[in-house]
Amino acid sequence: MPPVEQGVMVVEEREDEEPKASPDDLISQLVTLGSYVNQLYLQSHLIHLNIEAPYFLSIHKFLGKQYEAHIEQFDALSEYVRSMDYLLPMCAKGLAAACKKFSNVKSYSMQREEPYQDLTCREPW
């Protein structure tokens, strides 16, 4: 097939290109991405609420910003899926099933093995 001119750019159709993803494939990937973002939201919010450490305030503030960003990202992805006339899973179990490889927090322990594990203020002597 001869090249098709579009403005000043010449676009050439190639027969050896892989077929493009179907709308269903795209939606499936968006739902999976939304599911991962939702899991990130949940984990960051739970850690935000439960963190106990000498540096609590800085981690608490950081994770607060993170979970707020994740919920906005999830909302935007979800609205995009709905705008294409598809539905998201209707329950937490269905949403979690869309991200099978998500690694949850294994430990809430803040103990460190390094010699500087105690970050509280000390006298200089």
pLDDT of 120 above 70:
no
Reference 56, options 110, 2, 106; nearest CA is 110
Phi then psi for residue 56, to 5 deg, are -50, -50
| pLDDT of 18 | 73
Return the DSSP state at 9. E
Q: Distance between terminal CA atoms of the chain?
A: 82
Pairing state between β 4-6 and 9-11: antiparallel
The pTM assigned to this predicted structure is 0.65
Q: Which of 47-56, 68-77, 95-104, 113-122 has the lowest mean pLDDT?
A: 113-122
Classify domain 22-97 at the CATH class level: mainly alpha
Residue 7 Rama label (left phi>0; alpha psi -120 to 50; beta): left
Domain ranges within the chain, ordered by starting residue: 22-97
- Residues β-bridged to residue 4: 11
pLDDT band at 96 (very low <50, low <70, confident <90, very high): confident
Helix, strand, coil shares, percent, the chain, to 5: 50, 5, 45
